[in-house]
Amino acid sequence: MTAIHAYLALFGLLAIEGTGMPGVPFEPAFIAAGYLIERGEMSFWGAVLVGTAANLLGNLIGYWLGARPGRGFIERLLHRGWGPEGMTTARYWLGRYGAVVIILARWFGPIRTPTILAAGVVGMEASIYTLYSALGAFTWTLAWQYAGWKGTHYFLGWWQLYRRYATWWMDALLILLVLALTAASIYYCWRRWYAGRAH
């Protein structure tokens, strides 16, 4: 993967994630960028600015959908999720604590999507929303990209140390550990899914 590929992946995934779409796997893009930053093939601040611009673009698309073409559908969706008083509560919180709500929602998945969509539906001023979203997108992207960079740095350092002293049985043990963790994760997700269907 080259720096261009990493920038494109970062932009595309964070733009989609920024619309409020849940379940977007954006983490690999930060890790890939962090790896290239560690190798000196990519700029840290370049990655942060690209990620911030993409995420802000996604936020504005989500806001526009709530304010314009998808208003009726999104109102019904939020009404179903939040209940009859949901929109009244959203108007109150966005009106009184707009900056805090928009910025903090960027960090918490369960309220991110409703906040992005509700801001357009309740008619929050576009310029104010853009400012708050830009601050939220910047701080969120900065933190994730820094974690991706430093996480890669320490992992590569550990990997080099491991390879210096590794033996065949240590490799076998590591493979078994990874397989066990993967199997446990799959089983956990399956149990959650099965329990959800049972209810």
For the record, the structure tokens of 56 come out as 């802000």
List the beta strands (DSSP E) in 49-191.
none
For the record, the structure tokens of 88 come out as 């009244």
**What average pLDDT does the segment 167-189 reach?**
81
Q: Which residues contact 185 (CB under 8 A, 6 or more apart)?
A: none
Which of 12-21, 26-35, 113-122 has the least mean pLDDT? 113-122
List the beta strands (DSSP E) in the chain.
none
Single pTM value for the model = 0.72
> If DSSP states are collapsed to H, E and C, what string results for the chain?
CCHHHHHHHHHHHHHHHHCCCCCCCCHHHHHHHHHHHHCCCCCHHHHHHHHHHHHHHHHHHHHHHHHCCCHHHHHHHHHHHHCCCHHHHHHHHHHHCHHHHHHHHCCCHHHHHHHHHHHHHCCCCHHHHHHHHHHHHHHHHHHHHHHHHHHHHHHHHHHHHHHHHCCHHHHHHHHHHHHHHHHHHHHHHHHHHHHHHHC
Domain residue spans in the chain?
Answer: 3-165, 167-199
- Could you give the 3-state DSSP secondary structure of residue 20? coil
Which of 22-31, 105-114, 140-149 has the least mean pLDDT? 105-114
68-118, pLDDT tens digit by residue?
765 666 666 666 655 556 566 666 667 666 677 777 777 876 677 777 777
